[in-house]
Amino acid sequence: MNDLVQFLRNRLDEDEHIARTAGSRHKGGSFWSVEQSEVRAKDGTLIVRHTWPDEGAHIARHDPARVLRNVEVGRAALDHYRAVRRSTEKHKAYVLAEGAVGKQIQILALAYADHPNYRDDWRP
């Protein structure tokens, strides 16, 4: 399980780096919205032109700000798992909780199942 936790931490670090880089390139910041056929930053700076409205909605929906929030959620889940594991070492009553929380970590990792370092034995 330690390998899976490290794998997830590495993916979250990558996601954070990409989101921060994308958000920092535009003076408008990391909050994006779709206006007609364009994705724009909060201040109106053009981020990207696109052809289809659903593509623009998708890009805006997954703006850097949202990715950064998802990174924080993932890190909080990993920190919670670490805390439960530490509790298990002291109190055997936490063994079932460790299994349940560990399963949630496996489920979170499914988002990265297409990554070359993902291992099939991590599947829940």
**77-88, pLDDT tens digit by residue?**
999 999 988 887
A 10 A CB-CB count for 124 gives 11
- pLDDT mean across residues, the chain: 90
Q: How far is CA 121 from CA 25, 49, 50, 74, 100, in A?
A: 39, 41, 39, 20, 17
Q: In the numeric block, which tokens belong to residue 99?
A: 């299994």
Question: Above 80 in pLDDT, residue 124?
Answer: yes
What single-letter DSSP state applies at residue 26? Answer: S
Q: CA-to-CA distance for 18 and 64, rounded, in angstroms? A: 8
- Of residues 12 and 29, the one with the higher pLDDT is 12
pLDDT at 70: 97
Q: Domain ranges for the chain, please list them.
A: 2-122
Question: Above 90 in pLDDT, residue 42?
Answer: no
